[in-house]
Structure 1
């Protein structure tokens, strides 16, 4: 069990009185800390109007009496830590096993990296983890996975894996880092993804298993299970489209018995499933010829039908972006040779050296007009080469 408690004015007074002793607050540590888990002294300075801050008391394990105070990270000296902890309800008589501490670490500028996480200037040298400017275990692990995959593929002489922003959150994470850089520890928030309707947990296998299979990370058994699930989804969708319902007395009686409102015009079972109150199992009750589905396949079928219009619109946006992504920019391009580019765009493009027009369009300071100028120039160069 975990417990909830709060700081109070006595806690805040001790912190304010000793603020000059905290490296996170007195200037000894200059680095920008993670935005989403600030130290308690940072909270006191940043939110002076708050008379209390929430703390979670979390047991460290089943076989220990240690409790972690979540929300109370600190760089204060040990005597101050003991003093303010004893002001908190539930911790009046606590003992400290290990003091809180602050860290400051450097990171590389991630715009030095290709989308494969290989350094642009050093062939075969890949970088992953918090040293690329991220905060959090999942972010670090995601980069390690991609860097490891691409290091292995480079040794084998095979094409690298670059996940697109529409493929996975890993794709959003890495694209943000290598295209925009970061001025504070980067956290992968869902709001950073413009295609998050496509990046759902229920379709992660549909999106990524074929990529894993191509690079040798998916076993035959897992691949067979994937193909069976994919076929089951496709068969169910086909059956739903093929099942036509007419507003007859018998048909409406069958629908009402299944808990579905009667119909007044002819429609397909697929159209009925778009109703938010209708579920696949209800349709099977009214239409026994529909195939039986596992729960995960049923969920996938319901989502695909119910959100079809929104998903289709997002896929059109992805297709537009992919047209830009498919137009690769030569690695040796000299942006000084491109006329009509604005100076800021020229400077940013030369610094980031994007791999495609799509990546170029996401660089801060590069406008759609700049991308158009670059696209026209690249096409003119291609035609000149073809004419030779």
Structure 2
């Protein structure tokens, strides 16, 4: 038995577990990370990439608050792209392609260099629970470790079952054992559990591909990065490639449907709607004669390649035959086939917004155990769980991010309020205030908030304050600088924009759709001023000017939301006593126990009429 009593024990070394352990330890809690395999800490179980649409915003938010994901992604990046640049800034989303092995190594090193953090390799079979409060863990070796709080971040390992065609084997990832015992104990304590499914594509030998038959996808010409700190910028990048399936590929895949666990009833659970397997795609979208695949390198030196878009649980012989009909794949060799995995999860309506469970005090859930999918969603939850576990055991207030403050706030509120019966994935469309929640201003939104609780460093705060000051300074210059027609009209005509007949402020010209700060830099005195500022400052000033009207409107909507958030609902409120509420509203609200009218209004099945009844009952 380990005699030390930890403030926080984190179970699981994936993205949620790593961020949870780092946050709790950096805040000053004596923290223990327990994992089944020390060699797979920070493992990229699926694609070797971080970020993407809405997910990139989450990584930026984690970084702004002092988390590690952005730093690790920058240090292991082999390609950087800013997605959706043809759309407005609310949609811009950073993404890195990463070196899988280097990513895990950087996570391990970062955690080993974190004070207050210990490690232990073993499987956790049970929790020590006394009087509805968690008191520690029991490992498969029978070792009892006491703790003031426990965070479960078990990923896909809880009773994990891997499917390849008609073969099944227990595991949390291919080649790694599953975890058992925790689900059974939690359900005996009154928790509701369910099953979900996810999958992964085959990994192939890049030496056997003919890239000349594929479309090259290079990184950005001037690559950015995730972290707001001074992490290294990419000086060289590796290309990805795009290729397409065809009817012959689809015909071969269909031949295996009778041996597919998805179609023969072996798999009963739901998989991710927005990342379907290749067999699901050709079945659901039978009218399409091809589907896009991304051929992604796994690192700087390895020849292993990830076939993004070809997730499959079909028999391995069917997968290989179908792959060889894809252009450039004629001679392909497979390192390991794709597979599906089923695992236990706990519907997240059983949690508080702090990610503490409602049934067991000081027990927190983060990551796929809550029904989410994706490294970024898991990492964001891990960060919040780590902060709140630390705060709880040290008698501090819970740390909650609202929907208007962060994508992480949207994610957690969606899970707690609406629940999920399929793997939840973040999209920009899930956020009502996405123009406020941009990737470029995550530090402005969150760093001071994190600094106040002791997580973000003073260095981060100073960098953020400087960015705010400089962007306001540049904004003021552009709002006060007049441009006479003789100066600006030649540029406007070149940009096919209407000329002006009198002097206009530079900021007014900047609001035109096809004009940006780079355009105005053709004017000497503007260029001389703007080159004093970093790219990040210029971007911030330009967005604030161009989208001021929209931003102000969203802030007005936020203030309306806050008025609803201020109308509290008593914790012991019994919704069944209100006769005028719909039957569905009574059931849903009693299950979720919303704390405010705003939260109640977001519960699926609760109508505006139900909210009006509730407001009247509360005297509003």
Q: What's the TM-score bracket when you normalise by the shorter of the two chains?
A: 0.7 to 0.9
Task: Indicate conservation of the 8 Å contact 2:475/2:542, yes or no.
Answer: no
Q: 1:278 to 1:333 in 2, by over 3 A?
A: same
1:217 aligns with 2:479: no
- Structure 1 contact 239–290 (Cα < 8 Å) conserved: no
C-alpha deviation, 1:11, in angstroms: 2.9
**Once the 2 structures are TM-superposed, how far is the Cα of residue 313 of structure 1 from its aligned partner?**
0.9
Q: In the alignment, which residue of structure 2 is the partner of 1:308?
A: 548
Structure 1, residues 219-245: CA drift from partner, whole Å, max 9, x if none? 12221222222222334444555x375
CA change 1:8–1:124 in 2 (3 A) is same
Equivalent residue number for residue 326 of structure 1: 566
Q: Establish whether residue 68 from structure 1 lines up as the match of residue 306 from structure 2.
A: yes
Quickly say closer, same or farther: Cα 1:93–1:192, change in 2 above 3 A: same
Local SS of the residue matching 1:56: strand
Give the match's secondary structure for 1:26.
coil
- For 1:227-242, list aligned pairs within 5 A: 227-239=465-477
- In structure 2, the CA distance between the partners of 1:70 and 1:266, relative to structure 1 (3 Å rule), is closer
Deviations 1:11-65 (A, max 9, x none): 3333222211111221101111112222222223222233333333333333333
| TM-score for both structures, normalised by structure 1 | 0.86
| Higher mean C-alpha deviation, range 121-130 or range 230-239 | 230-239
**Contact 2:252–2:318 (CA under 8 A) maintained in structure 1:** yes
Shift of 1:259: 7.0
Say whether 1:374 aligns with 2:374: no
Query: 1:1-388 maps to which residues of 2 (within 5 A)?
Result: 1-239=239-477, 243=480, 252-253=485-486, 270-276=507-513, 277=515, 279=517, 281=521, 285=525, 292-379=532-619
**Cα distance 1:236–1:80, how it changes in 2: closer, same or farther (>3 A)?**
closer
Give CA-to-partner distance per residue, 1:62-97, whole Å, 9 cap, x none. Answer: 333333322222212233333333333333332222
Counterpart-to-counterpart distance in 2, 1:160 and 1:187: 25
Between 267-276 and 96-105, report the one with greater CA deviation.
267-276
Q: 1:344 to 1:283 in 2, by over 3 A?
A: farther
Comparing 137-146 and 88-97, the one that deviates more = 88-97
1 or 2 for the larger relative contact order (CA 8 Å, sep ≥6)? Answer: 2
Structure 1 or 2: more helix by fraction? 1
Seen in structure 2, the aligned counterparts of structure 1 residues 351 and 266 have a Cα distance that, compared at 3 Å, is same
Contact 1:259 1:282 in 2 (8 A): no
- Of the structure 1 ranges 316-325 and 159-168, higher mean CA displacement relative to structure 2 is found in 159-168
CA distance in 1, matches of 2:243, 2:512: 44
Instruction: Evaluate the alpha carbon distance shift between residue 186 and residue 278 of structure 1 in structure 2; reply closer, same or farther with a 3 A threshold.
Output: closer
Preserved CA contact (<8 Å) 2:353 2:413: yes
Give the match's secondary structure for 1:316: helix
CA RMSD of aligned residues (A): 2.9
Bigger share in strand: 2
Deviation string 1:150-180 (CA, Å, 9 cap, x unpaired) is 1111112111121111111111111111111
Number of equivalent positions: 375
Distance in 2 separating the partners of 1:266 and 1:368:
50
Q: Which runs of 5+ in 1 are unaligned?
A: 381-388
Alpha-carbon distance in structure 1 between the residues aligned to 2:324 and 2:487: 67
Which stretch of structure 1 is more off in the superposition, 306-315 or 335-344? 335-344
Moved more, 362-371 or 266-275: 266-275
Displacement of 1:352 after TM fit? 0.9
Residue aligning to 1:384: none
CA 1:179–1:61: 2 relative to 1, 3 Å = same
Partners in 2 of 1:77 and 1:289 — Cα distance? 63
The answer to whether the Cα contact below 8 Å between 1:284 and 1:290 also exists between their aligned partners in 2 is no
Deviations 1:100-156 (A, max 9, x none): 221112211111111111112222111110111111111111111111111111112
**Residue 372 (structure 1) shift:** 2.5
Q: TM-score, normalised by structure 2?
A: 0.56
The 1:226–1:59 alpha-carbon spacing in structure 2 relative to 1, beyond 3 Å, is closer
Deviation at 1:255, TM superposition (A): 5.3
